[in-house]
Structure 1
């Protein structure tokens, strides 16, 4: 089932122009919160994927025990080792608040871990992000956090959840979805139960759903964020061919690509580029759809080269090629907007 043409056209509108009209940062400033002692690869892959897709700046907010390794992977990333086990959320709050105010999107979960100190920092970061009206992506152990307190995310319509099969099963159980419900209906019902949060259900085909049909106005995004209040349901299926090997880490690439599109959406919303024709309430479902298409295409291209030997690091160089395959050379190089 192809993505509807009007959805594809809206996605393309969120791609920043490469014509010399933008300055550094207006093509997206992305933050990834994660990276505990044993998990340095996941936040790296999310952050570097955002960079490779076209974000201007990519930050990693992590534990000091992970910072050295992440810095060594790529000097392009800006690493903030502020999530120390010896500190506390109260002490970190001013520095974290300042940093988040400079970002367009926060990706939470890759390499976060379940240690109490990392989970407490994640709860703080999510609260600050919501206060600032940021777009957020929640994956991996950030979903584990949400499963234990659905109130952390309920009704926050600037969020995208990206659960895999097991994460989606646990989330469905937490919101009491009948297990007999047809599989293609569950993502919409989970979104509905969470007050319209966009859900990207990963699987043989990705299902992106947002559902506010039974959401009261009190469940909507905080009043400081001007979002549409109309009730609606939208479900998009992405069955673009991917690779036949699902290596650990592909979900981190997805988080990075979804996050970049949300960052572009924030830049579009702020007037950095574009015609302002897409409301902020559309950004999460568009970003989730775009991220799914790009990641699956990236996986396909990498698998063609590596086969069974495929590792997550093989995906990263293919992101730009996947972009060109999906959106065309003109969208990638900016040749539509001007010539050097």
Structure 2
């Protein structure tokens, strides 16, 4: 399929703005992360999810991180429940109560790698799987999967977002040879094989060209990005992906979906399309931000560009809107 055809499919997932919808029906997402050392990453993920168009974003974090995140923006709902003084059983009960309200859950931004936060991440992933909501695993959530890939094995409503280093670790864990995989063809083979061995999750491999696979086919996103690789851009991608997957859930339920778009999209294609949309948005955000700020670009500069990137690709004046 062409780029425009794919983006037109992605647009079908987006609930139209309507006075008939009430708060939350256009997407409720959760971000599990935010440790004593890292507070920016979960903020960028949560805020970008709302800037793209989700109605509500919940940060699930360690208490001291929550105190800080609360000062960043009053728009975010912050749950400071991942304290080291609490049992995993009590934490799981609280997480399940939050997950019941969500369309999608992202695990990883600002999570850290200490034993307690990694255990909380596992609990959160299991809760999402038990509730059958969309799950995104990024950053230090992927560190957990490097050690315990079976946590998400077989779960089709899951998207992993590794960079090249995280991809290498996952391949090593699952016995996939990467020697000589520098060529695009060899990397594609390794990527598809990783998805096949995980038997369910879609993988969005970040790089010069983003590659997305469910183990059967590969989508490529070569939308121009920026040249400044400041920290936080991956978190904005995670937040954007959370919103697209929340919209995929809304689309499946039929709430607010545009029924004039023709044939319904198969459920199994939704994670691939959501990842394609999120990658396109993030690369465009990076491109616009770099044109404005050059070497001075920081992650917080990019948040204002999320809505601009959305309008470029999916707004009323876009090619995808004209195609409907």
- C-alpha distance in 2, partners of 1:53/1:95? 27
Correspondence for 1:297: 284
Counterpart in the other structure of 2:219: 236
1:241 aligns to what SS in structure 2? coil
1:280 is displaced (CA, Å) by 2.4
Give 2:268's aligned residue: 281
* Aligned residues between the structures: 314
1:186-265 map, 5 Å = 186-211=190-215, 233-265=216-248
Give SS of 2:211's match.
Answer: strand
Find the aligned partners of 2:323 and 2:161 in 1 and give their Cα distance: 33
How far did 1:8 drift?
A: 2.0
Give the C-alpha shift of residue 172 in structure 1. Answer: 1.4
Give the equivalent residue in structure 2 for 1:222: none
SS at match of 1:30: strand
Q: 1:74 to 1:183 in 2, by over 3 A?
A: same
Q: How far apart in 1 are the matches of 2:322 and 2:83? A: 45
Say if 2:152 is the partner of 1:153.
Answer: yes
Deviations 1:202-230 (Å, cap 9, x if unpaired)?
0000000111xxxxxxxxxxxxxxxxxxx
Unaligned runs of 5+ residues in structure 2 are none
| Superposition TM-score, scaled by structure 1 size | 0.89
Equivalent-residue separation in structure 2 for 1:313 and 1:70 (angstroms): 14
Partner residue, 1:131: 130
Q: Distance between the aligned counterparts of 1:90 and 1:73, measured in 2? A: 30
Residue 8 of structure 1 is matched in structure 2 by 7
Q: CA deviation at 1:9?
A: 2.0
Offset at 1:149? Answer: 0.8
- After superposition, where does 1:40-119 map in structure 2 within 5 Å? 40-119=39-118
Instruction: For residue 336 of structure 1, report the CA deviation from its aligned partner.
Output: 12
For the residue of structure 2 that corresponds to 1:329, the secondary structure is coil
- Farther off after superposition, 3-12 or 21-30: 3-12
Task: Calculate the TM-score normalised by the size of structure 2.
Answer: 0.93
Using the alignment, how far apart are the partners of 1:234 and 1:23 within structure 2? 37
Aligned to 1:38: 37
Choose from 270, 274, 286 the match for 2:253: 270
Partner of 1:217: none
> Does the 8 Å CA contact 2:104/2:134 hold for their aligned counterparts?
yes
Deviations 1:291-330 (A, max 9, x none): 0000000000000010000000011000010111122335
The answer to whether the 8 Å contact 2:10/2:274 transfers is yes
Q: By how many angstroms is 1:109 displaced?
A: 0.1
Q: Which residue of the partner structure matches residue 215 of structure 1?
A: none
Residue 323 of structure 1: aligned partner: 310
* 1:18-37 equivalence runs, <5 A: 18-37=17-36
Bigger proportion of residues as helix? 2
Alpha-carbon shift at residue 189 of structure 1 (Å): 1.4
* Aligned partners of 2:8 and 2:323 also within 8 Å: no
Q: Give yes or no for contact 2:210–2:279 (8 Å, CA) kept in 1.
A: yes
For structure 1, list consecutive stretches of 5 or more residues without a partner in the other structure.
212-232
Aligned to 1:309: 296
Secondary structure of the residue that 1:21 maps to in structure 2? Answer: coil
